[in-house]
Amino acid sequence: MRILKTKIALANSLATQKALSTPRTLRSHKSSNNSLSTEAASSPESTKRSRERIPGCSFTPEHSRATKNIVKNYGRAICSFAVSNIASPYIGEILEKEGVLFESFVEYINEIKEKIDGLQHFRSVLLMKDTDDEKVIAMKRCFVGISEVFIKKFSVNWIYHSKVFHKEAHLKFRFKMLRRIQCPELFTYLKDPRRQVKCC
């Protein structure tokens, strides 16, 4: 054991002597080469090459991808439905009840439609706050009313005839979306984080 320790110590001392005896210019040249190689390794092109993935493959689980855009898709579909001719028999009664003009409601829908990009914004469109004036509250009530009509009577037709890719997941979350629209105060998540479920 003592002989092995002596050999290791001797090898270390020889390595340090060799490093000290190497001319400074040569050492700086080596270090610059090393830095260039590390820069090349961290360059965008090299990272791009290393991040290339096989087409059709994803590291994200299928059930997560299936439910990723459900709220956004439903929100935008409701906005499109609200200003369409199909909704006119239903929207007239809702607007009359709340005392809102159709033109004002269309302006409101066009304003919020492109901003709906996830759960939080869709919830803010449904939730009536203390800071909202009476006109905005009336618009939100109309939006909630037409949303319920859409999900109960027209959502299945929309799911099967739209460009939505994960049709089964959208269909399974239909009544969950309806419950969230009826109680936007509780609309803090779509999937229960405590339960690892795929599409229910």
Residue 26 has a pLDDT of: 46
Residue 198 has a pLDDT of: 43
pLDDT for 128 beyond 60: yes
CB-CB contact of 167 with 159 (8 Å): yes
State the amino acid at position 169 in one-letter form.
A
* Cα separation, 194 vs 192, whole angstroms: 5
Residue 138 has a pLDDT of: 92
Three-class DSSP category at 21: helix
**45: its two tokens:** 């092109």
* Mean pLDDT along residues 41-63: 55
pLDDT for 106 beyond 90: yes
Residue 51: which residues within 8 A CB-CB, separation 6 or more?
none
Residue 118 has a pLDDT of: 79
| Nearest CA among 125, 149, 148 for reference residue 137 | 125
More confidently predicted of 145 and 58 = 145
Three-class DSSP category at 147: helix
CB-CB contact of 127 with 27 (8 Å): no
127 DSSP 8-state letter: P
pLDDT for 199 beyond 80: no
